[in-house]
Structures are given as structure tokens and as C-alpha cells.
Structure 1
Amino acid sequence: MVQFGNQQYLWALCVLVPLTVAYIAAIRHKRHTRKMLGNAALVQQLTNNYIPKRYGLKIMLLFITITCLVLAWANLRKSQNEKGSKGNGIDVMLVLDVSKSMLSQDVPPNRLEKAKTFLNQLTPEIEHNRIGLVVYAGEAYLQMPLTPDAVATNLFIDNASPDLAPVQGTNIGAALRLADGSLDDKEKKYKAIVLVTDGEDLDAGAKSAAESLAENGTILYTVGVGTEGGAPIMENSAYKKDANGKTVISKLDAPLLQELAGITGGKYYFLDNSSHVVNDIATQLNNMQTKPLNNNGGYMQYALYYPIFLSIAVVLLLLEIFIAEKKRNKVVMNPKKQQKPTKKANQLANA
């Protein structure tokens, strides 16, 4: 399937709109100037060495060049085949809290970066399974459906930030429901969720969501990041304050995370020693009952088309440079009427 690796860069094609408007305006200006300068036969004679079609050709080549550069930037590619051993595994949804409370610095450099480092360490240990990613704050968002592409998982994890969640807040229940809905619902086994958060929940639906996970056979492992003492929340380069002007302190809610994991038969982990937590969770997931998976634990191969677009852009740019709008030979006028070019003639030539 043909797709763009960096689809967000396609917005750059919008630059063609103002360029088209400018080109149309330039053409109209040239026509207006020709009409204003006098007799049509004289204008034609004085501008006989100018080729208007070449000007249009140069602009068209420039537009195609810009289009090719943007397509190369967006990385048009076609999936070919997945590499890796076929075998058994489970479906694992990673759920990452990206609310602004995760920017608290009670763990260095902050909670979110520590959580992302943990997930990047966990992914290689469970790459023979299918992995997906959900991020959440006030609402939950599916960032990556289940895939055997471990490299893609790490890319999405690295890009996770509060900017991905336009609605701020903390809604663990919505995140768990979305993650469970993104898993295979045909059988009540072979699936797990790893939730990484500071545990602060501003919605009352987390426990009911965990009960739904248990009914669907989904095991929940919760990972708490932060400290019980808490830390201020950084917002717009300043600490967040409440309605009374007091600094808001965000604290790790370990009891809630323990309860949620216990409802599904999972386990709670405090993220202090990342390596220890990674090894323990990976062992738990790898010891679960498995099902046959296609191309699990591998990676996707792509046919990349950006070199083609770059080559076309370079060739067209060179053509545009060497195409002249005027003829090389000078206009030969009647010897009896030959005269020096006037200022008016120069204006006509440039028009």
C-alpha cells in the first residue's frame, strides 16, 4: 500500500496557492502594460524577440519542482513485506499519560520523559507481540493501532507530548476503554494493557473501565511515575496555580493504580528502577497464553520514492534555469527605419 511516512508535511503544498495568484497577477500586468504602450503592430515588432510561452513554461517547471520536493519531504513509500519470524504472541496496548502533570520534575528530567524512556526499553523486550499506543489527558487518542513494527512504536513514543492532547485533564477511564476497544475482542484472552501514569484521575470512570477490562479478559499492568510528595505542575514556563492563587502540587496516586491492576488480575509497579520494572513486566507478558500472529516480532520493508522526486526536482530546476524567455538572435529591423531602442521599447521588452 502506498502511503506517506511524513504525511503532516503535505501542508507545504499550500504554498502553490499564493504562487499561482502571483503568476496570474504578473500575466495580467504584462498584458495591461502592452495595451498601454501604444500601437499593437509596433508593440509586436519591438517585442518580437520575446517568447511569452517560455515564461509560462518556466513557471510550470517551478511549480512541478516544488511539488516534487514536498512529496520527497513527505516520504512517499510503498509497503512491500514484513520481515521476521512467524510465531505466537499477544496483543499489547501501551497507554501513556501526556497530561501536563506529567511535566512535573519530582523525577528527573520529568515524569513524561522517564515514562517514555521506560516504554522505549520495554518495547524491544516484547517485540515478538503486536503493540499499539494510546495517549491521553482529558481525552484519549489512538496514536498507533496494533502493529508488529517495533521501530514505528518507538517513533510514536518519542513524539508523545502534551501537544498531542488538545483537551487537558486526566481521564484514565477513557484511555482504558479506548485501549481495550482497540484490542481483538473475539476472545477473552491473549491481550494486555500497560498503563504508565502518575495516577491522578479527574474522572470517576477508571474503576468501571477496569471492570470492563476484566470482563473482556484484558490484563492491566499499571506503572506509577512520580512521588508521593509530589511536585508543582509546569505550565507556560510557570507553576500552575489554583483559583486561590496557591501552587498546584501533583502527587502520585499509587493506591488507585494498585486497585485498577488488581481488578483485572494484573500488577502495579512503581517506576523507580526502570530496568527492573521492564524485566518484570516483560516476563509477565511473555508468559501469557499466546495465539498465532503473522510476521510478529519483525519489521516492515518499504520501497522509498523520495530519490525519484528529488531527481526530477533537480532536473526540472536545471531546465528552468537554462530556458531563456528571449531569442538569442537580435531583432533585424528595416535598415531605412532602424533606430536606437527607446525607453518605451525597453519597457515593452520587459513586459
Structure 2
Amino acid sequence: MLRFAHIEYLWGLVIIPVFIIAFLAVSIWKKKAISSLGDKKVVMMMMPQVSLSRPWLKFIFFLLAYAMLIIGIADPQIGSRTEEVKRKGADLMILLDVSNSMLAQDLAPSRLENAKRAIAQLIDRMHDDRIGIIVFAGQAYVQLPITTDYSAAKLFLSTINTEMVPTQGTAIGAAIDLGMQSFDFKNGTGKAMIVITDGENHEDNAVEAAAAAKSKDVSVNVVGVGSESGAPIPVYDEQGHQTGFHMDHETGQQVVSKLSEDMCKEISAAGGGVYVRANNSNSGLGIVMDQINKLQRKTVDSRSFKDFEDRFQFFLAIAFVLLLVEFFISNRKNMRLSGIKLFEVKKP
């Protein structure tokens, strides 16, 4: 497999036709200039050292050297070989609450941003496990299917916000059901879920969904974000500036969102997982991962290019040799060599 590390430099090859046109234009001008002096044969006899072919030879060497130089700068690389890579891993699905209550700021800078930062740190620690992300509020959606592409996982994670699920609420049960549908149960790897939420479940029976997951050997772990005393929920305008807090239209009071720790514990207990309460200094994901690391890990074989080897040095060496040869080719004839006529027939 061939690739160029800096393919943009190959645009330098576009200049070659410009060189050719310029050289042809100069050659035509020289011929006209010689013709204007008189008969061409007579003029050439008056300039015995002038060669019409050597400039062409020098130009060809120059063009070849330039092309080799551009290709060398673009750094051609060859995939040297492939090797079999063995990977042992488990499947992990992150279920992230994106309801408006996750904007509360009892965790800095907010519950949601605190959770996203913790998930990013978790991804950085992963090696062979596969990860997926589901976001949920009143409904649940797959944000990232199960993958080993950790760069993609962090990219998708960075785009998560509370506006991506139009229906408000906290449907933890629907998120767990969707997570079960997203797993591939044929590969035999251990599977687990991590639900990150403030526990204010108002939509479905999350405990029942967690129990169903446990029955299929999928542990449901819960990380509770927020505080028991709670915090008001900020309201932002389209420019992202805070304009106030959510108000209860019936009482006219600020809505205070509190961590429903009892609900979180019930879900984790039913799902055979652990419950951890997050705070500003500890996300709790480390404790959860210690449990998940005990899962069965299956060896998966895959093939990939091991490495790419640089080949720029060969092209630069060829360019150097061609330029050296071009430098030593004179525009004038070598009178000693021109005096040798191998095919001239002498008359007796």
C-alpha cells in the first residue's frame, strides 16, 4: 500500500507544463534570432561551439530532477507488511442523561459537563474494550454505536448537549432497553452499562429494565451526579448566555433539581452493578471500571497494516544525481569529441 505523508506538495508537479512552455518559447526565440542574422548554416559555422541539442538534454535532466524532488518532499510511504493483532476486550455502553436537570451546577461547571469530562478521561484509559454512547431524556438515542475508535468516541462525546433530545424527561428504562438492543450477544464478550444520571426518573420502570439486563448477564452500573440538597436549573438563550432559572409555573418558585440517590441504588442493585456518587473531585468511574474489568474478555483477531516506511530518501537521492549531471553538462560543444566522426567514410 502506497501513500504520501504530505500529499499537498504534489501540487508542485503542476508547474512542470509551465517550465516546458517557457523553454519552448525561449528555444523558438533563439531560432528566430539566429535566422535573422543570415543563412542558418553560415551562422552556425561562425559559432562552432554552440550546441542546439545540449540545452534540451540539460532541460530534460532538470525536469526529471524537479519531479523527483517534489515526490521526495511529499514523502511516499509504503505499508511494509500486515500482521495479525490479537485483542481481548469487553463491550461497554455509556448511558448519559441529557435532560435539562443535568444543567444544574451543584457539580462544576455543571452536572453534564462534569460527566462528559469524566467519560473523556475514561476513554483515555481504555485500550482493547469497545465503547458505545446512548443519550437519553424523555427518549433515548444511540449517539455512538459500539466501537474501538476512541478518537471518534471523544469527538461524538464533545457534541453532546441537552438540546439533542427534544422530549424532556428522564427515561432511564428506555435507555437500558436500547443499550441491550445495541449489544452483539453473538461475540461472547462480557458486557456492561454505566448509567450517568441524577436519578430523577419519571418516564418508565428503570428497575425492571435493569433486572432484565442482569438476566442476560449485562451488569447495569450507576453513577449519580448532583447533590441531595439540589440546585436550580439554569436557562440559556440562543447565544449561550444564562438568562435565569427554570420556574414552576404553578407555584412561581424556582425548580430545584435534587439527586435521587435511592432510585440510583435501586437500579444498580437490580442490574447487578455498583452505585457510585460523583463529586467535584471524584467522578466515580474508576470504581465502576474496577468492577467492569472483571468481565469476561474474548480474544478477537483482526488484521491491519503494521507500519508505513518512508521512501523519500530514494527520490531525493535521484534528484541530487540528476542535478549533478545537469550541472556538468555544458551548453557548448566539446570540440575534441565533435572532431571524432565514427561514421564518416574517407575517400581514397
Structure 1 residues 116, 84: CA separation in 2 closer, same or farther (over 3 Å shift)?
farther
Structure 1 residues 199, 192: CA separation in 2 closer, same or farther (over 3 Å shift)?
same
Look up the match of 1:240: 246
Matched, 1:251 2:258: yes
The alpha-carbon deviation at position 151 of structure 1 amounts to 1.0
Could you say which structure has the larger radius of gyration? Answer: 2
Consecutive unaligned residues in structure 1, runs of 5 or more:
1-81, 302-351
1:161 counterpart letter in structure 2: N
1:197 counterpart letter in structure 2: T
What SS does structure 2 have at the residue aligned with 1:246? Answer: coil
Taking structure 1 as the reference length, the TM-score comes to 0.58
1:148–1:295 Cα contact (<8 Å) kept: no
1:284 counterpart letter in structure 2: Q
Taking structure 2 as the reference length, the TM-score comes to 0.58
Distance (Å, rounded) in 2 between the aligned partners of 1:101 and 1:133: 19
Look up the match of 1:25: none
Percent of aligned positions that are identical = 38
1:121–1:278 Cα contact (<8 Å) kept: no
1:222–1:257 Cα contact (<8 Å) kept: yes
Look up the match of 2:147: 147
2:257 counterpart letter in structure 1: S
2:290 counterpart letter in structure 1: T
2:245 counterpart letter in structure 1: Y
Look up the match of 2:293: 286
Matched, 1:267 2:274: yes
1:90 counterpart letter in structure 2: A
The alpha-carbon deviation at position 188 of structure 1 amounts to 7.8
Structure with the higher fraction of residues in helix conformation: 1
Structure 1 residues 289, 135: CA separation in 2 closer, same or farther (over 3 Å shift)?
same
Look up the match of 1:98: 98
Alignment of 1:116-131 (within 5 A): 116-131=116-131
Structure 1 residues 139, 85: CA separation in 2 closer, same or farther (over 3 Å shift)?
same
Q: How many residues align?
A: 220
Distance (Å, rounded) in 2 between the aligned partners of 1:285 and 1:248: 36
Distance (Å, rounded) in 2 between the aligned partners of 1:244 and 1:213: 40
What SS does structure 2 have at the residue aligned with 1:207? Answer: helix
Structure 1 residues 196, 84: CA separation in 2 closer, same or farther (over 3 Å shift)?
farther
Distance (Å, rounded) in 1 between the aligned partners of 2:127 and 2:164: 25
The alpha-carbon deviation at position 126 of structure 1 amounts to 2.7
Structure 1 window deviating more from structure 2 (86-95 vs 266-275): it is 266-275
What SS does structure 1 have at the residue aligned with 2:151? Answer: helix
The alpha-carbon deviation at position 84 of structure 1 amounts to 9.9
Matched, 1:277 2:279: no
